[in-house]
Structure 1
Amino acid sequence: MEVLDESIRPVTLDDAEQIAEIYNYYVLTSTITFEEEPVAPAEMTQRISEIQATPLPWLVATRDHRVTGFAYAHKWKARAAYRYSTEVTVYVRTGLGNSGTGSRLYARLFAALKAVGAHAVIGGVALPNEASLRLHQKFGFEKVAHFKEVGFKFNRWIDVTYWQLTL
């Protein structure tokens, strides 16, 4: 399912409410995120502001003024030697899976990361999540770690894999 007339642009604080709506669907219905309580738009505004205070990108995909997905990067670790390493994430509005939105967001995100000098890109995937595994593999990520039963949500233990791409 191709989403036509979709554009990708840098996030603005005005996007926070729609981003929270997209994200909270996954908070409440899946183990894709380990957050267990919905995130208020004000909290999402704060999170966006924190990324905007860095050179790292936060992008949104939109169609007809509606956010269809988002992707961003944040520091992998705080220590100075990690300054060229980032962790990335992408979320697509429910119902738009397999639309290509996630791929388009990641392609633009990785180009923006390369432009700011990022070197290592890391993505965490809570299992099971076949769509996310396929997306990371599509972009050339390699599996570098598998942590067993490190998350607990919806009354069950969850494994997490980590994937790495060198730009």
Structure 2
Amino acid sequence: MSELIIREATPVDAAAICAIYNPYIEYTTISFEEKPVSVADMAERIASTQAQGLPWLVAEAEDGELFGYAYASRWRARPAYRHSVEASIYLRQATVGQGLGKLLYRELLQRLTALGLRTVIGGVAQPNPASDALHRALGFKQVANFEQVGRKFGRWLDVAYWQLSLTAI
């Protein structure tokens, strides 16, 4: 992999982000969405996240190819939750296990810390050993395992929740 640039996403990135994300929808249980996301819908998701003052980052090669993205969304709508976010990260499947996830997630965590946020939560559909290992390596602690809360491809699926206090990093 060539030199990487981690930067804020723009609406122009929506097609490349869909190319990374939609295979997770179509072929895995990692995402609980069931229909591919259109480029227009992805552009709206990026804009909505950024309009809330939250980061949506992409990892880009020098040649402009996107290898992954990470973003934060509000954990819950009620005001008392305003210091907590849920983080999501998706990588081009061919790059999983090469250290890109740590680089991208660390940058996201640094930006969330700079925003004064306190807690980051990661929900991981099970089984997903790579994502579990990533969260563990970054200092997250597994705080819950909700059993059979999702159904996709005719299977009931669990979701593990990981939590990181930004005051600890």
Q: TM-score range by the shorter chain?
A: over 0.9
Tell me the equivalent position of 2:35. 37
SS of the counterpart of 2:94?
Answer: coil
Task: Give the Cα separation in 1 of the matches to 2:2 and 2:130.
Answer: 21
Task: Give the Cα separation in 1 of the matches to 2:35 and 2:53.
Answer: 29
Unmatched 5+ stretches in structure 1: none
Tell me the equivalent position of 2:133. 134
Residue 166 of structure 1 deviates from its aligned partner by 0.2
Tell me the equivalent position of 1:48. 46
SS of the counterpart of 2:123?
Answer: strand
Residue 55 of structure 1 deviates from its aligned partner by 1.5
Tell me the equivalent position of 1:73. 72
Correspondent of 1:14 among 12, 15, 21? 12
Q: Which AA in structure 1 matches 2:135? A: H
Task: Give the Cα separation in 2 of the matches to 1:19 and 1:48.
Answer: 10
Task: Give the Cα separation in 1 of the matches to 2:114 and 2:39.
Answer: 29
Instruction: Please report the TM-score for the alignment, with normalisation by the length of structure 1.
Output: 0.97
Deviates further, 3-12 or 81-90: 3-12
Q: RMSD in angstroms over aligned alpha carbons?
A: 0.7
Instruction: Please report the TM-score for the alignment, with normalisation by the length of structure 2.
Output: 0.96
Identity, in percent, stands at: 50
SS of the counterpart of 2:95?
Answer: coil
Task: Give the Cα separation in 2 of the matches to 1:143 and 1:94.
Answer: 24
Task: Give the Cα separation in 1 of the matches to 2:50 and 2:161.
Answer: 25
Report matched runs for 1:1-167 at 5 Å.
3-63=1-61, 64-167=63-166
Q: Which AA in structure 2 matches 1:42? A: A
Q: How many residues align?
A: 165
Query: Which 4+ runs in 1 deviate beyond 6 A?
Result: none
1:90-146 per-residue CA deviation (whole Å, 9 max, x = no partner) reads 000121111211111100000000000110000000000000000000011011111
